[in-house]
Amino acid sequence: MQERFVVYRSPDGELRVFYDRCPHRFAPLSLGKCEGESLRCAYHGWVFDQDGKCVEIPSLGPDATLPPRAELRGPFAVAESHGMVFVAPESPLTPLPSLGADDDSAFVRGDLEPITTRANAGLLADNFLDMAHFAFIHTGTFGAGEATEVGNYSLEREGYAFTAVYEHDFANREDPGVAEGIRPLVQRRRLTYRYVAPYHLELALNFLDSGGTNVIGFFLVPLDNETVTIYSSIWRDDLEGSEERLRDAVDFEVAVVNEDLALQSRYHDLALPLDITCEVHVKADKTTVELRRILRDLLDAANQDV
Ligand code: FES
Ligand SMILES: [Fe+2]
């Protein structure tokens, strides 16, 4: 069942997380307001303290005995990392993602608006890790310069995470050095994919000849099998402080994501098969096969805990 959470920050700066449901008439507590450490429900004004215990029911007047079942589910474990809030209703099996570029002052960060759409989080993770679709899907953005053949690349798994590194030739049409005759059109590029289960993804593109690194972070929150919210940010170290160029880069990334979603949102069956014998895989699919294996292992581990 889909659960919703209310998250609020108390005056000491701590985040508190509960199920977003008042025990009285199940109104969403997220419509209420913070009163110091406490949360007041918007409907009948019941007040819950930082541990979720009800401490005031206005309709009973002062000094009334409060029903013992008047308490919130929670508080749940919560962590903040890189401007995002992660909630753990149960003990997490995987670590939080670490984003090196976010801690590196050489990079500027641009956030895309969150996108909620019809798509499956597993399929979107597959799509993010896939290197063989660029020339076919991204025809309106960067795909024209991309090779269709995918060469060998390395992949190292660590727990419920992996890193894959692919170095290859590509046509760098954006490099002003090409027009100036300083560098050839065909240059070297390194793609480094980092995946942390279940849905934290990062791609660093290193332009080995012209210099510069672009990083794309992609964090998926499945709302159900057919709906997902995408949180995505980019980091650039090659924009020389230009806010306009950063805005353009974010807009470009939105266009790239929309090209992917045009296909992803139209899958008939919005599900990622975890049985790797179901689909036909080729050499280029090493990352996305590992994605399936890791999600299968994670699911097995989670089921063992039940
Ligand atoms: S529903 Fe929250 S106080 Fe009544
Ligand atoms: Fe794509």
Task: Please state, in angstroms and as integers, the Cα–Cα distance from residue 182 to each residue in 178, 185, 202, 280, following that order.
Answer: 6, 10, 31, 43
- Distance from Cα 228 to the centre of ligand 1, integer Å: 29
Residue 109 in contact with residue 102, Cβ under 8 Å? yes
The Cα 23–Cα 27 span in angstroms is 8
pLDDT tens track for 215-244: 999 999 999 999 999 999 999 999 988 899
Kindly give the number of the ligand 1 atom that is closest to the alpha carbon of 22: 2
Task: State the ligand closest to the CA atom of 27.
Answer: 1
> Can you give the pLDDT at residue 176?
87
Residue 79 in contact with residue 89, Cβ under 8 Å? no
Task: Report the nearest-CA residue for atom 1 of ligand 1.
Answer: 25
Q: How confident is residue 97, by pLDDT bands cut at 50, 70 and 90?
A: confident
> Can you give the pLDDT at residue 171?
85
Kindly give the number of the ligand 1 atom that is closest to the alpha carbon of 26: 1
Q: How confident is residue 306, by pLDDT bands cut at 50, 70 and 90?
A: low
For the cut 80, the answer to whether the pLDDT of residue 305 exceeds it is no
Q: Is 39 in the pocket of ligand 1 (CB under 6 A)?
A: no
- Distance from Cα 287 to the centre of ligand 1, integer Å: 48
- CATH code, residues 100-305: 3.90.380.10
For the cut 70, the answer to whether the pLDDT of residue 248 exceeds it is yes
Residue 108: strand pairing partners: 236
Name which residue leads in pLDDT, 293 or 93: 293
Task: Please state, in angstroms and as integers, the Cα–Cα distance from residue 95 to each residue in 79, 91, 221, following that order.
Answer: 11, 11, 16
pLDDT tens track for 109-127: 999 999 999 999 999 999 9
What average pLDDT does this structure show over 58-67? 94
> Can you give the pLDDT at residue 137?
96
Structure tokens at 69: 């079942």
Task: Report the nearest-CA residue for atom 4 of ligand 1.
Answer: 44
- The fold of 5-75 is Rieske Iron-sulfur Protein (2.102.10)
What average pLDDT does this structure show over 85-112? 90
pLDDT tens track for 145-178: 788 999 999 999 999 999 999 999 988 888 889 9
Q: Is 293 in the pocket of ligand 1 (CB under 6 A)?
A: no
Probe ligand 1: pick from 41, 59, 69, 72, max atoms within 8 Å of CB?
A: 41
Q: Quick one: how far is CA 125 from the chain centroid? A: 9
Task: Report the nearest-CA residue for atom 3 of ligand 1.
Answer: 44
Question: Containing H/E element for 77?
Answer: strand 77-81
Q: Is 58 in the pocket of ligand 1 (CB under 6 A)?
A: no
Closest CA to 200 of 133, 259, 265, 121: 121
Dihedral angle, C-alpha 80, 83, 84, 90, nearest 10 ° = -10
Q: Is 41 in the pocket of ligand 1 (CB under 6 A)?
A: yes
Q: Where are the domains of the chain?
A: 5-75, 100-305
- Distance from Cα 57 to the centre of ligand 1, integer Å: 9
What average pLDDT does this structure show over 41-58? 97
Q: Can you give the C-alpha Rg of the chain in angstroms? A: 23
Task: State the ligand closest to the CA atom of 264.
Answer: 2
Long-range contacts at 49-55 (CB < 8 A, ≥ 24 apart): 50/10, 50/16, 50/75, 51/75, 52/18, 54/23
Report the residue count for the chain: 306
